[in-house]
Amino acid sequence: MSDTKQRLLDGTLTALREHGIAGISARTIAAAAGVNQALVFYHFGTVDELLGAACRAGTAQRVARYAQRFTEVGSLRELLAVGQALHVAERELGNVSVLAQLLAGAQSEPRLAAPTAEALQLWVDEIEPVLVRLLAGSPLAEVADIPGLARAVAAGFVGLELYEGVDAVGATRAVGALEQLAVLVEAVDDLGPVARRAVRARISRTARRSGPGRPVR
């Protein structure tokens, strides 16, 4: 990868963090990258193409950096802790708030939809096996759609990132509350056999009754 191309990819992420999707342009990107504005078009054709490429490359890099940590997660609360660490680190250097900006842009720019969906999927692909592992044998796993849950976690994380940008105190509080939810799930998993059977019975009964609640496969 040529140096200039990489500088443009990095500069795109920096510019997205500083100016948001509303303030992005070949000029703001080039300024952040420290290169000439015309090189955006020489190397990537259009600004949107560069945005898509930066989204893919940047997310892949970040995901690779956290892959190891995900495999070491041993509980739902540890998963939340990794999410917290990721959030703090990425707020400074990274790619998650960038992903939120690109998701917002993709809502009305169809050409951004595919790259952003793929980038989010990279995170989902990390989260999903962790959940499969953590919830193995849990009553929840018997009725819940784990891939769906992984998607909810990834999407919810993006929503919390955006919320954090306008209300840091509220966002901290929200994360704390989610930790309590994780505690509940873990508590159910740690129940004795009798109570556990009761929960399981209750869950499968409810799941059978409710059509729209069944996981989509």
- List of residues contacting DNA (CB under 7 A): 2-5, 23-28, 35-39, 41-43, 45-47
CB–CB of 128/147 below 8 Å? yes
Out of a copy of itself, DNA, none, what residue 198 binds, judged by CB under 5 to 8 A for its kind, is a copy of itself
Q: In Å, how far from its chain's centre is CA 13?
A: 16
Kindly state whether residue 191 participates in binding a copy of itself, applying the rule CB under 8 A. Answer: yes
Question: Applying CB under 8 A, which part among 3-11, 32-40, 62-70, 182-190 lies near a copy of itself?
Answer: 182-190
CB–CB of 159/166 below 8 Å? no
Nearer to a copy of itself, 39 or 175 (CB): 175
- What is the identity of the amino acid at 188? V
Q: How many CA atoms lie within 13 A of 147 on its CB side?
A: 6
CB–CB of 139/200 below 8 Å? yes
Q: At what angle do helices 26-33 and 47-72 cross, to 10 degrees?
A: 50
Out of a copy of itself, DNA, none, what residue 193 binds, judged by CB under 5 to 8 A for its kind, is none
Out of DNA, a copy of itself, none, what residue 1 binds, judged by CB under 5 to 8 A for its kind, is none
Out of DNA, a copy of itself, none, what residue 113 binds, judged by CB under 5 to 8 A for its kind, is a copy of itself
CB–CB of 153/130 below 8 Å? no
Site string for a copy of itself, 117-146 (x = CB under 8 A): x--xx--x--------------xx--xxxx
Nearer to DNA, 13 or 127 (CB): 13
Q: What is the CA radius of gyration of the chain?
A: 20
User: Could you tell me the smallest distance in angstroms from the CB atom of residue 39 to a copy of itself?
Assistant: 22
**Nearest-angstrom CA–CA distance, 96 and 162:** 10
**Nearest-angstrom CA–CA distance, 135 and 155:** 20
Nearer to DNA, 39 or 63 (CB): 39
Out of a copy of itself, DNA, none, what residue 3 binds, judged by CB under 5 to 8 A for its kind, is DNA
Kindly state whether residue 211 participates in binding a copy of itself, applying the rule CB under 8 A. Answer: no
